[in-house]
Structure 1
Amino acid sequence: MKRLLYISFFTSFILLWSSCRKDFEFAPSSGNLQFSKTTVYLDTIFANIGSSTYNLKVYNPSGDDISIPTIRLANGESSGYRLNVDGVPGKSFENVELLAKDSLFIFVETTFDTSQNPLPATEFLYTDQILFDSGSNLQQVDLVTLVKDAVFIFPDRDANNIVETLTLNVNGEVLETEIEGRELDPTELTFTNEKPYVIYGYAAVPNGQTLTINAGARVHFHANSGILVSENATLNANGAHSLDQENLENEIIFEGDRLEPGFSDVAGQWGTLWFFENSVNNTINYATIKNATVAILSDENADAPNDKLTITNTQIYNSSNFGILGRNTSIRAENLVINNSGQSSFAATLGGKYNVTHSTIGNYWTNSSRQLPALLINNFLETNTSIFLADLTEANFNNCIIYGNDTAEFIVDELQDDSNSVTFNFKFTNCLIKFPVNDTSFSGANYVFSNTSLYEGNIYNFDPQFRNTEKNQMIISTTSPAINQGNATFATQVPQDILTNDRTAAPDLGAYQNSDF
């Protein structure tokens, strides 16, 4: 009975309130709207690629409910901007109601469509305005974005909208893959610094051809995209030292195709630079590779007469899985800097041949928990059904820093067959290493740190004093314990640090000589 009375009272209250409520009366706006910003900057986009969504908040400061007669883009239907006013998309709106002391959101996006608007320059400001009302009540908010022209490389689609996939030649066998992409044309085998390059899918360097990337080139990748260097093909990325360390005018930069500041350090935006089995004589010098899934993937050819990949004066940051993943391959690295990888920054797996000198292999990843150290060395590959073993002919780390935010930042993981015949050779010389040397959970001959055939002249667990690991600033301070700890022989082989400072007189460990912050 009591519940019935409550329900009856509530129903009567609602009916009474409804019968007393007066309909809202909206007066025309009088040009006194207020805005969260007077200009909406949509940052930088490539032609034909849509921007992120930006917002503008519109306030009614008055005590009256108002109706805004029109909200529209100045360039009308031809505008490359798009609006969404309180959930309704369009480019022009009429009689938009706004209660007293209330606000509404306008969301803004843009795409500069070159099929409708020819590009006036390789880089220019594209503008429009959102106009509120008209005549003496007219108010406006400016829209501004920087549009860049680019060279677009993408696979074809057939009549059924099926995207072209790669066909690869491996040891004389033709393999049909499911990798979306296409081979580069002969006219596309030199990337210059005149315009950025935007790649969709995998751009494959054809068998026997060389892709040359000139100093100052900018290469951007869409999601799940990259470069694949196929059999007997070569990548030569020929960057140069930059005087401006902010803009890196002479370095080659590999990154994603989202140019907004919010994407500048987001890992996993694109795939990998993939040095496929039997690619040859690949070189990368003065490059920055960032925000990939696996920045560099190098497969096979550990016994090649020349190193499969030589990488020098190069920075690799924000890889969602690995900075460098080698699988039974051959890599030579000098003045290499790696930081912030979801798994290992440098993974030398399934054996191979690795010589790394004056390099900084760090991992201060904080986006998720990681299971692997900054440096992983092993001689096997485990699948669901099998374990494959291969010789680790050499893995030498000289005058390096191997550090991060985990307890142990390197692991040497060796497996042997029944005959104990698999080669496993490694050595650390004059390195600063983070590792719990007295932890008995790491046992076996590979962790005997007094064995000078494996470990010589190293120091352990001293903070290198990097400038700012969150911002990938891996230069060491003037009080770093890595100062003047390098072996002179290796310093002579790499006489300048990554910033071209001389290191021969007093070599510091890692890729950088110390600097006063």
Structure 2
Amino acid sequence: MRQYFVLFIFGIILAFSSCRTDFDTVASSGDLKFSKDTVYLDTVFKNIGSSTYQLKVYNRSKNDISIPTIQLKKGLSSKYRMTVDGMSGNNGKIFKDVTLLAKDSLYIFIETTADITDANPTDFLYTDEIQFDSGANLQQVALVTLIQDAVFLYPKQNPDGTKEKIQIDGKAVDGFYLNENDPVNGNELLFTKQKPYVIYGFAGVPQSKTVTFEAGARVFFHANSGLYIDNKASLHINGTVSTTDKLENEVVFEGDRLESLYDDIPGQWNSVILSNGSTNHTINHLTLKNAIIGLNIKNQDNTTIQLKNTQIYNCVEYGILAQNARINGENIVINYAGLASLSCVYGGNYSFTHCTFNNSWSGSAQFAVNLSNNLAGQTPETNPLTQATFNNCIIYGSGTNEFNLNKNTSAAFVYQLNNCLLKFSSTTTNPDYQFKTDAVHYNNIILNGNPKFYNVSQNKFNIDNTSAAFAKGNQAYIIPQDILGVTRTSPPDLGAYQSAVFPK
């Protein structure tokens, strides 16, 4: 009997609630609370949509309320757009009679797409505000966005509606060749610091041409985009040392999402590809981050890449993938790569001095440095590694062993580490990893010493005088200045940074 009584009462409650089609509300009294008083939408390029930002609105009262109007101050002409608790209102600009229950909250999601001409000409800020109600009950939340002008480079659209394409490794990909006499952009083979550049698809450098990046140039790559240096073409990156944290003289390659959320997300764009037969490359003071492969060097010709004062971070696969390449590297820093920070495969000729190769990618299958004289699918599958020399370097990371040799005895495999700090924690009888007794390949190795980097998660690989790398370098290999332009002392520290006193 008791069961029937409970079911009867439940049925009455259900019937009553199902008959109610609205709530009794009172008008908003202007006492709404907000999760923030200003919504800062991070920097966006002109006419490129922003990420979506959130504002939470609270009703702290005991009454269900009705907000007569939620709208953008600039009304239908505003470059911002909103949804309010999933509703789109009038073009995302104006919302009428919005109900907010007692002790409850609602979400407002905000986006923007604006031109540089919409912004304030003195500070390039585009602003508006969300207004709640009007008159004596008016409440406001400010909206602020920095709009950045840029040069946009992208594949043209063909008459049939398809995009322009170029050939990379025998595959047609969305891309275009840079034009030194473009009717709109002028010389597209010269990148200056006057405006940032945004690239869609692969920007190709035509055969026998040279692309030059001046100090301070900023290049932002859209998803699946990159830079392709064709056969007999050259890449010249002419950055110089900067004096502030803004890297004002560095050349910077990164993804085109400027919001802080994307600062360190790997894989936002593809790669810089130095193709088979490309030639005469010089790279100085380049910061490259958040690619799939940072520098992808394929069967380079007999010239040697001069790669100096370069930082590469947060790559899905490799910081540098060199296939039968020739590289002279000085003051290079690489960190966070899903497979290897530096991978030299299918032979080649390499010299690295005062470099910091670290890999703190989360996982256990990656290396800081990988060397190989073979490559599956190539004909032949082996190629001589004629030299791989590391002088005054740090090879470290979060894994157990950060140095890997993949040697095929059918081709030459010549390598040597001199005065290096190396992480290799496993005990092995493999003759290739006898760091203390193999004087042909290893000299003055500091095995598993702690470099005490300043802040690995922020890619700050400075050291101080408590580091195991402090003053352990060989003067014979010294590069006079470190990656920041600081003069090295004698004996020099290992790695790309001369030691300094860290701030407290």
How does the TM-score come out when normalised to structure 1?
A: 0.90
- Per the alignment, residue 466 of structure 2 pairs with 479
Which range moves more in the overlay, 349-358 or 64-73?
Answer: 64-73
Instruction: Give, in angstroms, the shift of residue 2 of structure 1.
Output: 10
Matches within 5 A, 1:334-349: 334-349=330-345
Inter-CA distance 208–100: structure 2 relative to 1 (3 Å threshold): same
Which of these residues, 384, 389, 403, is aligned with residue 396 of structure 2? 403
Instruction: Give, in angstroms, the shift of residue 123 of structure 1.
Output: 5.8
- Per the alignment, residue 211 of structure 1 pairs with 211
Inter-CA distance 120–100: structure 2 relative to 1 (3 Å threshold): closer
C-alpha deviations, 1:212-249, integer Å up to 9, x for none? 101011111111111111111111110011111x2111
**1:489 maps onto 2:482 in alignment:** no
- Per the alignment, residue 172 of structure 1 pairs with none
Instruction: Give, in angstroms, the shift of residue 437 of structure 1.
Output: 6.3
Which range moves more in the overlay, 390-399 or 177-186?
Answer: 177-186
Inter-CA distance 166–120: structure 2 relative to 1 (3 Å threshold): farther
Inter-CA distance 497–19: structure 2 relative to 1 (3 Å threshold): closer
Instruction: Give, in angstroms, the shift of residue 180 of structure 1.
Output: 1.1
Alpha-carbon distance between aligned partners in 2 of 1:217 and 1:467, rounded to the nearest angstrom:
28
Query: Letter of the aligned partner of 1:92 in structure 2?
Result: I
User: Is contact 2:330-2:354 (8 Å) kept?
Assistant: yes
User: Is contact 1:269-1:292 (8 Å) kept?
Assistant: yes
Which of these residues, 362, 384, 392, is aligned with residue 385 of structure 2? 392
Long gaps (5+) in structure 2: 181-186
- Per the alignment, residue 457 of structure 2 pairs with 470
User: Is contact 2:348-2:387 (8 Å) kept?
Assistant: yes
Secondary structure, in 3 states, of the residue corresponding to 1:272? strand
C-alpha deviations, 1:90-140, integer Å up to 9, x for none? 1111111111222111100011146xx566649610001111122222221
Alpha-carbon distance between aligned partners in 1 of 2:158 and 2:203, rounded to the nearest angstrom:
18
Query: Letter of the aligned partner of 1:189 in structure 2?
Result: L
C-alpha deviations, 1:341-390, integer Å up to 9, x for none? 11100001111111101100011112xx242311000111124x987111
Instruction: Give, in angstroms, the shift of residue 515 of structure 1.
Output: 1.3
- Per the alignment, residue 371 of structure 2 pairs with 377
- Per the alignment, residue 63 of structure 2 pairs with 64
**1:512 maps onto 2:497 in alignment:** yes
Secondary structure, in 3 states, of the residue corresponding to 1:9? helix
Instruction: Give, in angstroms, the shift of residue 67 of structure 1.
Output: 1.2
- Per the alignment, residue 171 of structure 1 pairs with none
Alpha-carbon distance between aligned partners in 2 of 1:438 and 1:346, rounded to the nearest angstrom:
23
Alpha-carbon distance between aligned partners in 2 of 1:270 and 1:156, rounded to the nearest angstrom:
19
Alpha-carbon distance between aligned partners in 1 of 2:155 and 2:123, rounded to the nearest angstrom:
25
User: Is contact 1:320-1:343 (8 Å) kept?
Assistant: yes
Alpha-carbon distance between aligned partners in 1 of 2:460 and 2:29, rounded to the nearest angstrom:
53
- Per the alignment, residue 348 of structure 2 pairs with 352
Instruction: Give, in angstroms, the shift of residue 31 of structure 1.
Output: 2.0
User: Is contact 1:488-1:504 (8 Å) kept?
Assistant: no
User: Is contact 2:297-2:322 (8 Å) kept?
Assistant: yes
Matches within 5 A, 1:211-230: 211-230=211-230
Instruction: Give, in angstroms, the shift of residue 28 of structure 1.
Output: 2.0
**1:94 maps onto 2:83 in alignment:** no
User: Is contact 2:119-2:126 (8 Å) kept?
Assistant: no
Query: Letter of the aligned partner of 1:381 in structure 2?
Result: L
Which of these residues, 473, 479, 487, is aligned with residue 502 of structure 1? 487
Alpha-carbon distance between aligned partners in 2 of 1:363 and 1:19, rounded to the nearest angstrom:
60
**1:319 maps onto 2:315 in alignment:** yes
Alpha-carbon distance between aligned partners in 1 of 2:160 and 2:81, rounded to the nearest angstrom:
29
Instruction: Give, in angstroms, the shift of residue 44 of structure 1.
Output: 0.8
- Per the alignment, residue 30 of structure 2 pairs with 31
Root-mean-square deviation over aligned CA pairs: 2.3
Matches within 5 A, 1:118-267: 121=121, 124-167=124-167, 177-186=171-180, 187-244=187-244, 246-267=245-266
Secondary structure, in 3 states, of the residue corresponding to 2:211? strand
User: Is contact 1:119-1:149 (8 Å) kept?
Assistant: no
- Per the alignment, residue 328 of structure 2 pairs with 332
Instruction: Give, in angstroms, the shift of residue 30 of structure 1.
Output: 2.4
Inter-CA distance 229–330: structure 2 relative to 1 (3 Å threshold): same
| Runs of 4 or more above 6 Å deviation | 19-22
User: Is contact 2:209-2:234 (8 Å) kept?
Assistant: yes
Aligned length in residues: 493
Instruction: Give, in angstroms, the shift of residue 78 of structure 1.
Output: 1.8
Query: Letter of the aligned partner of 1:84 in structure 2?
Result: T
C-alpha deviations, 1:7-43, integer Å up to 9, x for none? 9537634445438969521222222222111111101
Alpha-carbon distance between aligned partners in 1 of 2:118 and 2:38, rounded to the nearest angstrom:
25
Query: Letter of the aligned partner of 2:134 in structure 1?
Result: S
Alpha-carbon distance between aligned partners in 1 of 2:420 and 2:275, rounded to the nearest angstrom:
31
Alpha-carbon distance between aligned partners in 1 of 2:358 and 2:22, rounded to the nearest angstrom:
65
Query: Letter of the aligned partner of 1:339 in structure 2?
Result: N
- Per the alignment, residue 114 of structure 2 pairs with 112
Matches within 5 A, 1:13-24: 13-15=12-14, 17-18=16-17, 23-24=22-23
Alpha-carbon distance between aligned partners in 2 of 1:53 and 1:462, rounded to the nearest angstrom:
45
Instruction: Give, in angstroms, the shift of residue 291 of structure 1.
Output: 1.0
Query: Letter of the aligned partner of 1:243 in structure 2?
Result: T
Secondary structure, in 3 states, of the residue corresponding to 1:473? coil
Identity of aligned residues (%): 47
Which range moves more in the overlay, 502-511 or 337-346?
Answer: 502-511
**1:438 maps onto 2:427 in alignment:** yes
Query: Letter of the aligned partner of 1:390 in structure 2?
Result: N
Which of these residues, 454, 457, 460, is aligned with residue 447 of structure 2? 460
Secondary structure, in 3 states, of the residue corresponding to 1:489? helix
Query: Letter of the aligned partner of 1:129 in structure 2?
Result: E
Alpha-carbon distance between aligned partners in 2 of 1:122 and 1:356, rounded to the nearest angstrom:
46
Secondary structure, in 3 states, of the residue corresponding to 1:52? coil
User: Is contact 1:122-1:195 (8 Å) kept?
Assistant: no
Inter-CA distance 404–167: structure 2 relative to 1 (3 Å threshold): closer
Instruction: Give, in angstroms, the shift of residue 317 of structure 1.
Output: 1.0
- Per the alignment, residue 184 of structure 2 pairs with none
Inter-CA distance 278–59: structure 2 relative to 1 (3 Å threshold): same
User: Is contact 1:122-1:148 (8 Å) kept?
Assistant: no
Inter-CA distance 370–202: structure 2 relative to 1 (3 Å threshold): farther
Secondary structure, in 3 states, of the residue corresponding to 1:382? coil
Query: Letter of the aligned partner of 1:61 in structure 2?
Result: R
Inter-CA distance 295–121: structure 2 relative to 1 (3 Å threshold): farther
Long gaps (5+) in structure 1: 169-174
**1:427 maps onto 2:412 in alignment:** no
Alpha-carbon distance between aligned partners in 2 of 1:507 and 1:474, rounded to the nearest angstrom:
16
Alpha-carbon distance between aligned partners in 2 of 1:122 and 1:232, rounded to the nearest angstrom:
44
Alpha-carbon distance between aligned partners in 2 of 1:445 and 1:111, rounded to the nearest angstrom:
57
Alpha-carbon distance between aligned partners in 1 of 2:53 and 2:124, rounded to the nearest angstrom:
20
Secondary structure, in 3 states, of the residue corresponding to 2:339? coil
Inter-CA distance 15–482: structure 2 relative to 1 (3 Å threshold): closer
User: Is contact 2:32-2:58 (8 Å) kept?
Assistant: yes
